[in-house]
Structure 1
Amino acid sequence: MLTLKYQRLEQRLGYSFSDQRQLQLALTHRSHGASNNERLEFLGDSILNFIIGEALFKRLPDAREGQLSRLRSQIVKGDTLALLAREFELGDCLILGEGELKSGGKSRDSILADSVEAIIGAIYLESGLDLCRERVLTWFAPRLNELSANTSAKDPKSRLQEYMQSQRQPLPEYTVVEVGGEGHAQVFTIECRVALAKQTTRATASNRREAEKQAAALMLSQLKID
């Protein structure tokens, strides 16, 4: 018999397990003991890749193999799965060993992502591919709807760096031009400079990393790189 918090998790998942021990197993980290979710995670990872790959194949008939692979990697990567787990409030339901519990395992991205894959594996074993596909596509619908064949899986900084390397040019330089605001409300202005562009680009954001990404995006635009 599952407690109320697990019943609420089933409501958020949109799926009720007939054998609730499968849900408990899917939520059990290896730190808790030999009976854990690692095998379900392995299965769920394979099924997730298939379902998302199939969905992209059907949605983007003109996309090339490389584009489809890139988009699938973007959707099923650990960061995305961890975000989905947080939307389900999965952390409160995880079954962890004492050490992992004390060290903040309930909020660790890798553990959250693995648990989502394990749940997918558990649903597949209990109800088969069709129902599992329906649940996964419902969970990922907002992310799938945002994609097109030209969506980049890499952030602007990575794309700019790779482009400069492909042109045998020095890597981009990022300089903090100004730091404004106070305490938690600081804003950073970053300048991006590359050898192939006469003009630098600047961007301002609430943290340095985001400002660098925005400055890189502006540079990509200036260089006319899609």
Structure 2
Amino acid sequence: MAKLPSFNNPSLLDCALTHRSYVNEHRGAIEHNERLEFLGDAVLGFVVGELLYRRYPELSEAQLTRLRSRLVDEPQLAKFAAQLGIGEIMHLGQGAIKDRGRENPSLLSDTFEAMVGAYFLDSGMEAVQEFVRSLFEDAINDLVMPESRVVSVTIIDVKNRLQQWALATHQEVPEYFLIGESGPDHGKEFTFGVRIKGQVYGIGKGRRKQDATKIAAENALKQLGEFV
């Protein structure tokens, strides 16, 4: 089983594991992890991008972008968090715990990003790069065909494909719009639609806005008969 990296400053890790719901219920608690999540998202995008750039010189920009997107999306980061046992040690409020927050992919993914941000502050970029390489190795291999080094067709950038279709057909880009959101702060679900020239082509739901818009684009392509 994968292990969390060792921290020189344990308080940074503690902060990374602390969700807003815990801080709201405990006066005097340390800062929640949302700022670290912001930092970790940026660090992770750079580190994974550099890793793929160096490892696969034969892949195009589009292929590298799709591969990086799949490696840092919510489902994949939630899997990494589960492997590291992050769900068991997150600091959550009682409401989040009752709503099975320790198994919530969105919370796991966000906390993983916060942990990466904390580790960067604690030990620097080189340590983060080593950690990411060791943890992401199997996931990268699963997404790249070893014989041809071609990115698997499962990591289609659906939003780019929909945009290409819209520009070619209507000379306009798709417009994504929020239909609604539901659930508590620690487990919101967003519903987005996508329209082109005023016509709605697809609707999607997800724990993050980015995921909801991707699903909306995928459903639009399916309706158009363009999804493979």
TM range (shorter): 0.5 to 0.7
Which segments of 5 or more consecutive residues in structure 2 lack a partner in the other structure? 24-29, 170-221
Q: For the structure 1 residues 14 and 109, does the alpha-carbon distance in structure 2 shift closer, same or farther, using more than 3 Å as the test?
A: closer
Unmatched tracts of structure 1, length 5 or more: 1-10, 169-215
Counterpart of 1:114?
110
Deviation of 1:14 after TM superposition, in Å, equals 4.9
Equivalence for 1:151: 152
Runs ≥4 residues deviating over 3 A: 165-168
Question: What is the root-mean-square deviation of aligned Cα atoms in Å?
Answer: 2.7
Residue 103 (structure 1) aligns with: 99
Identify the residue that residue 212 of structure 2 maps to in structure 1.
none
Q: Distance in 2 between matches of 1:42 and 1:101?
A: 23
Q: Which residue of 1 aligns with 2:17?
A: 27
Pairing partner for 1:70 from 39, 48, 66: 66
- How far is the alpha carbon of 1:143 from its aligned partner? 1.2
Asked if 2 retains the 8 angstrom alpha-carbon contact of 1:68 and 1:149, the reply is: no
SS at match of 2:150: coil
Find 1:49's aligned residue among 34, 45, 53: 45
Percent identity reads: 37
Q: Provide the rounded CA distance (Å) in 1 between the counterparts of 2:2 and 2:60.
A: 35
CA distance in 1, matches of 2:16, 2:4: 16
1:60 and 1:149 in contact (8 A); partners too: no
For these two proteins, the number of residue pairs brought into alignment is: 157
**Per-residue deviation at 1:119?**
0.8
How far apart, in 2, do the equivalents of 1:109 and 1:123 lie? 21
Report if the CA contact (8 A) 2:16-2:114 is conserved: yes
Match of 1:188 in 2: none
Question: What secondary structure, in the 3-state scheme, does the structure 1 residue paired with 2:117 have?
Answer: helix
Contact 2:81-2:109 within 8 A present in 1 as well: yes
**2:128 paired with 1:132:** yes
1:175-210 Cα distance to aligned partner (Å, 9 max, x none): xxxxxxxxxxxxxxxxxxxxxxxxxxxxxxxxxxxx
The aligned amino acid for 1:30 is: R
The aligned runs of 1:1-226 (5 Å cut-off) are 12-33=2-23, 35-146=31-142, 147=144, 148-152=149-153, 153-154=155-156
TM-score scaled to structure 1, two decimals?
0.62
Q: What is the CA-CA distance between 1:12 and the residue it aligns to?
A: 4.1
CA distance in 2, matches of 1:104, 1:14: 22
Distance 2:65 2:103 in 1: 29
Q: Distance in 2 between matches of 1:13 and 1:126?
A: 17
